[in-house]
Amino acid sequence: MTKAKFFEHNGAVYGFLIEGHSTKTASDGEGRALCAAVSSAAYMAANTVTEVIGDSAESEVSDGKMLFCVSKPSESTVKVLGGLKLHLSELSKQYGKRLIIITEV
């Protein structure tokens, strides 16, 4: 199971922590596809925030874990991270218990 926790302040997303794997077995194609989708979306959001928008962020990446937080997010960053949350929320509807979305205020 993959858990995506989004950090919010006053309704604005400023970071996320994604942990876990969505595969049940090594040959679990559906789980592998979900892991790839989640990973790709998270990297796209993080790279857009730091390289395109130019906001500074703290990040930590290891196997099955990605932490990304912006201490002073611009309006554009809040929108990108909100888009990531929406995207993963929609994926969780499709993949059920393999992807859990949590919001921490």
pLDDT per residue of the chain (105 residues) written in tens, 0 to 9: 899 999 999 999 999 999 998 776 667 678 888 989 999 999 999 999 999 999 999 999 999 999 999 999 999 999 999 999 999 999 999 988 899 999 998
**What residue ranges do the domains of the chain occupy?**
2-104
pTM: 0.91
b/e sequence 17-43, b meaning 16+ C-beta within 10 Å: bbebbbbeeeeeeebeebbebbeebbe
- Residues 77, 16: contact at Cβ < 8 Å? no
Task: Tell me how far apart the alpha carbons of residues 82 and 11 are, in angstroms, rounded to a whole number.
Answer: 10
- Residues 6, 81: contact at Cβ < 8 Å? yes
For the CA atoms of the chain, what is the radius of gyration?
13
Give me the architecture of the 2-104 domain, per CATH.
2-Layer Sandwich (3.30)
